[in-house]
Chains A and B, each alone.
Chain A
Amino acid sequence: MSTDTASVELVGEETVENVARAALFAALTGAFAYVSFPNPLSPAPVSLQVLGVFLAGILLGPVWGGLSMGLYLLTGAVGAPVFSGGSAGGAVVHGGLRIRNPAERSLVRLVGAMVVGTGVIYAFGVVGMSLVLDMTLEEAFFAGAVAFIPAEAFKIAAAVGIVRSDQIAAQ
């Protein structure tokens, strides 16, 4: 790449803030992938990765949430160890399902959007796994998804609590 000697084209203030937030949410999702709790319902531990996807979608919106998850996937593709499993692919689409001003929206819509998002994430994960590991869709579902789905309910509950907490609302 050649040196740009033309005048510097500054990035606008609002865009800078959004880029910073998108990058931080992508990093947070990657860091959440390493946080795991023992699961009371199944032997597979619960990681918080999907919670990061939920929060990015809810708090950043379709454009910047989508960019944030795009960054997350791209960083993983370039090689950073940010994925905990095969179920990362649906994140970008989920960004489109977001709700603005989450505190004002009804619980039904918030939870509904996250349930749809979970479905999308797992659909991509299962299809991806069946392609990569040469399995049928059913086999991939049993190997990669079934043990994790019950835990998603906990994450949705936690996400609602987080989004509605006073500490986050103040920011």
Chain B
Amino acid sequence: MTLSYRPGDSLAHRLDPRTKLAFQVAFAVAAFAHTNPRGLLALSLVPLGALRASGVSVRKSLREYRFVFPFLMAGPVVAAVTLGPPWVRVDAGVETAMASYRVVLVLLVSAAYLRTTPVRDSRAAIQHLVPGKVGRLLGTGVGFVFRFLPVLQADLRRIREASAARLGDERGLVARMRLVGIAGLSRALSRADRFALGLRARCFAWNPTLPRLSFSRGDLPVLAASLALLGWAFV
């Protein structure tokens, strides 16, 4: 996961996470409301600006999301092909292609968020939005998932390498899945136990001190832009 928070001093780094979340949502709504060539052309400028304001290169973010492209490209093809004459309906394909393109735009905007927002700020924003113990569980849990995702990915990679070194990759599909599943699961469970012990030792509490979130003057234009996008979406 190379697309994670990097400390920095860019414009987007200084914004409040709630502002950035609001902007993301507003942009997604606008992209869904204006899925036509002109709307998409105008909206294409937004991710470019957002990525520029957060110091991320477009190419790098696209590479990070490469696993969604097969789905996005299969969509237009399947939509265009019909059983029976005229066999290929270009207009349906074009429509779905535009829908695929808007997904890419939304993903690019969220790449800008990811790069510029520390996980604990996301956590604080979630706890602001969802009150009570549920919000606290979700907020802390998301932080834990972010923390452990790369660790478990490395675990699974090591398991598969070890299995391949012992010719495990010549076994049947179910046997291989079982092997990776059992080893991965038992590592995850033992990590969970140690992690729970560590949390208790460090007084894991319902009311920890979170980073102070505050709106600054820089948030105003972005909030205004979010409102404008929302307004445009509903016109």
A residues touching B (Cβ–Cβ < 8 Å)?
1-4, 6, 8-11, 13, 16-17, 19-28, 30-32, 34-35, 37, 39-40, 46, 48, 51, 55, 67, 70-72, 74-75, 78-86, 129, 132-135, 139, 142-144, 154-155, 157-159, 161-162, 165, 167-168, 171
Q: Which of B74, B95, B110, B205 contacts A8 (CB 8 A)?
A: B205
Q: Decide if B181 touches A159 in the complex (CB within 8 Å).
A: yes
Judge if B79 is at the interface, Cβ distance under 8 Å: yes
Across the two chains, which residue of chain B brings its CB closest to A36?
Answer: B67
Q: Number of A-B pairs whose CB atoms are under 8 Å?
A: 221
B residues touching A (Cβ–Cβ < 8 Å)?
1, 3, 35, 64-65, 67-68, 71-72, 74-75, 77-79, 95-96, 98-100, 103, 110-111, 113-114, 122, 124, 126-128, 137-138, 140-142, 144-149, 151-153, 155-156, 160, 173-174, 176-178, 180-182, 184-186, 188-193, 195-196, 199-200, 203-213
- Report B215 CB to chain A, min CB distance, Å: 13
How far is it, in angstroms, between the C-alpha of A171 and the C-alpha of B193 when the chains are bound? 10
How far is it, in angstroms, between the C-alpha of A168 and the C-alpha of B74 when the chains are bound? 39
Q: Which of A4, A134, A165 contacts B96 (CB 8 A)?
A: A134
Main secondary structure of the interface of A (DSSP, over half): helix
Q: Decide if B195 touches A20 in the complex (CB within 8 Å).
A: yes
Main secondary structure of the interface of B (DSSP, over half): helix
A-B contact pairs, 17 of them (CB 8 A): A1-B213, A20-B193, A22-B141, A23-B148, A30-B149, A71-B141, A71-B145, A75-B149, A79-B113, A82-B149, A85-B68, A133-B99, A134-B79, A139-B75, A157-B174, A162-B181, A165-B182
Q: Decide if B78 touches A71 in the complex (CB within 8 Å).
A: no
Q: Decide if B192 touches A21 in the complex (CB within 8 Å).
A: yes
Knowing A80-B146, A134-B95, the reply to whether A25 touches B199 (Cβ < 8 A) is no
Q: Decide if A24 touches B177 in the complex (CB within 8 Å).
A: no
Q: Which residues on the A side are within 8 Å of B1 (C-beta)?
A: 80-81
Across the two chains, which residue of chain B brings its CB closest to A138?
Answer: B78
Across the two chains, which residue of chain B brings its CB closest to A41?
Answer: B173
Q: Which of A13, A82, A154, A165 contacts B200 (CB 8 A)?
A: A13
Q: Which residues on the B side are within 8 Å of A30 (C-beta)?
A: 145, 149, 152
How far is it, in angstroms, between the C-alpha of A111 and the C-alpha of B22 when the chains are bound? 42
Q: Decide if B205 touches A81 in the complex (CB within 8 Å).
A: no
Q: Which of B78, B181, B188 contacts A135 (CB 8 A)?
A: B78
Q: Decide if A158 touches B181 in the complex (CB within 8 Å).
A: yes
Q: Decide if B185 touches A168 in the complex (CB within 8 Å).
A: yes
How far is it, in angstroms, between the C-alpha of A24 and the C-alpha of B193 when the chains are bound? 10
Q: Which of B3, B156, B182 contacts A32 (CB 8 A)?
A: B156
Q: Which residues on the A side are within 8 Å of B196 (C-beta)?
A: 16-17, 19-21
